[in-house]
Structure 1
Amino acid sequence: MGSLLDSYMTELRRGTLTLAVLSQLRTPQYGYSLVQLLEKASVTIDQSTLYPLLRRLEKQELVTSSWDTSESRPRKYYVLSDYGLEVYGQLKNEWKKMTDELTSLLEGDVNIESN
């Protein structure tokens, strides 16, 4: 039972993490600053999950990256591209719609009648 539940939890979390990361990239962030912002919102993300996700989002052209070498330690900053901003807006709207629908179902507001 535990491994099945873990599998479902991982599946649920995967999509929400992408949306959470996109929500914080409207302004440029580097990896550690992104982790901190997400943790403030009680969203935990492992670096071993974050960096592959950022690379995938960059490959999909949802985010762009640039290096800041003005500090002693160079940092790679990520920010939403115009396309990423558009996709984020659509995902956010879909998330809100799905959340409302699921909330109704889970609270028993929607009754399904049999034929």
Structure 2
Amino acid sequence: MSNLLNSFITELRRGTLTLAVLSQLRVPQYGYSLVQILEKSNIVIDQSTLYPLLRRLEKQDLVVSSWDTTESRPRKYYVLSEYGKEILEQLMKEWEKTSRELYILLKGEEGDAPN
């Protein structure tokens, strides 16, 4: 794969990873569980990408975190805030709208694109 193509793929994935992570934080998750859930859906996210993303989402008040120290190994759990839930709903609507529009454009050779 060319460097240019890799660059485009990275750009495409960047926004979709945020949406994917937010979508899985409707219930509390810790970092490794989040990685596993995403990988089951064939969405690969490196921990060096995930943790900075979670910190950014927390700083933006979309996610709140708390420590669970009941197990032998303490874990930091992340979950959507009320604001995060609102933003996720809006992002999902926008994703669906954009996906439909892009699908029509990509099929354009069949003459299905709107005028």
Amino acid at match of 2:102: L
Residue in structure 2 matched with residue 91 of structure 1 by the alignment: 91
Counterparts of 1:23 and 1:42 in 2: how far apart (Å)? 15
Say whether 1:31 aligns with 2:31. yes
Counterparts of 1:42 and 1:3 in 2: how far apart (Å)? 22
Percent of matched pairs sharing the same residue: 72
Amino acid at match of 2:24: Q
- SS at 2:43 equivalent: coil
Moved over 6 A (4+): none
Residue in structure 2 matched with residue 66 of structure 1 by the alignment: 66
Equivalence map 1:1-115=2 (5 Å): 2-108=2-108, 109-110=112-113
TM-score normalised by L of structure 2 = 0.94
- SS at 1:77 equivalent: strand
- In structure 2, stretches of 5+ residues that fail to align are none
Question: C-alpha displacement at 1:8, in angstroms?
Answer: 0.9
- In structure 1, stretches of 5+ residues that fail to align are none
Amino acid at match of 1:20: A
- SS at 2:76 equivalent: strand
TM-score normalised by L of structure 1 = 0.94
Counterparts of 1:26 and 1:111 in 2: how far apart (Å)? 36
Question: C-alpha displacement at 1:7, in angstroms?
Answer: 1.1
Question: C-alpha displacement at 1:78, in angstroms?
Answer: 0.0
Question: C-alpha displacement at 1:111, in angstroms?
Answer: 5.7
- SS at 2:103 equivalent: helix
Counterparts of 1:18 and 1:93 in 2: how far apart (Å)? 15
Residues matched between the structures, number: 112
